[in-house]
Amino acid sequence: MATRWEYRDHGPIREILRCAYLTPMLWFMGRAVAAAAAVDTDVRREFDTLPTPFTFALGVWPAGPAMVVAKGADGRVRYRGGRTAGVDIDLLMQIKHLETAFQMFTFRESTATAFARNRLLVQGDVANAVPVARVLDMTEVYLLPRVIARLAVKRIPRWKPWRTWIGRLRIYWRTLWGY
């Protein structure tokens, strides 16, 4: 007897909750990177190794939340918003799935582990991705309490406590006020 095949369509899903979490996280992260470049000498040094001008983006593939950060011709680092469309991007890093991004930004999978598991796409010069990854790691160390930062980054740098605390205050202040 011939088999009866039942057919059903399943369409794309709008993940409002996950996007509502990831969008402000990436917004905050993007502004914090710009603030860290102004506050911390190590972050500044990493940006100095990048070409001038230089724009990089971190987002969720294919068209999820994102952050765009640019180093201008004057060397100043600025957050350029959350839209990658129409922006000339030198280095585009995309997390392959929204769920994976959620795992990363809820600190259940570190950036290094996600890289190792091939969960990120890098388009652009890979040599530039390395300093950018270090910048993101240092920014996370500034933003997060040590116990959470340990889950997010591979290795916590050995900074003097005053550097961490004063730097954290300055970065939070600049991130919130956007300068």
Partner 1 sequence: MHLPELVEFVNPVKTLCGRRALEHLPFELQSLGACKPLVIRSDDAASRDRLRLLARVLGQAGLSLGDAAGTPGHPGPSDVQDLAAIYRDKDCDAVLVLGQGALVDLAKLVNLTVSAGALDIAELDTGGRGLAGLRPLGVIPTGVPTGDETTGSAALAGKTFRGPRLAPRLWVLDPRVLGDDDAATTADCFWTTVTHAAEAMLGPGANALNSSCAAAALKLAAAYGPAGIEGRATPEDRLWLANGAGLAGVAFDNAPAGLAHRLAVALAPEARQPAGRLMGVLLPHVLEDAMHSGDDHVAGLLQPLAGIAVHAATPQDQRASQVVARLRQLLVRFYLATGGRTPRTLEDAGLAPAALETAVPGGPVAEAPEERFREILAAAWGGRGGDPSPRRHP
Q: How far is the CB of 4 from partner 1 (least distance, A)?
A: 6
Among 28, 38, 42, 96, indicate the residue that binds partner 1 (CB under 8 A): 96
Task: Rule CB under 8 A: say whether 118 interacts with partner 1.
Answer: yes
Q: Which of 53, 47, 61, 37 is nearest to 139 (CA)?
A: 37
Cβ nearer to partner 1, comparing 10 with 158:
10
Task: Rule CB under 8 A: say whether 121 interacts with partner 1.
Answer: yes
Q: At 69, which helix (H) or strand (E)?
A: strand 66-71
Interface stretch with partner 1, choices 28-36, 43-51, 59-67, 82-90 (CB under 8 A): 59-67
Give the CA radius of gyration of the chain: 18
Whole-angstrom distance, CA of residue 106 vs CA of residue 166? 25
Cβ nearer to partner 1, comparing 9 with 88:
9
Task: Rule CB under 8 A: say whether 23 interacts with partner 1.
Answer: no
Whole-angstrom distance, CA of residue 46 vs CA of residue 24? 25
Task: Rule CB under 8 A: say whether 83 interacts with partner 1.
Answer: no
What tokens appear for 158 in the block?
């050995």
How far is Cα of residue 55 from the mean position of the Cα atoms in its chain?
13
Which stretches of the chain bind partner 1, using CB under 8 A?
Answer: 2-13, 15, 18, 61-63, 96-100, 103, 117-119, 121
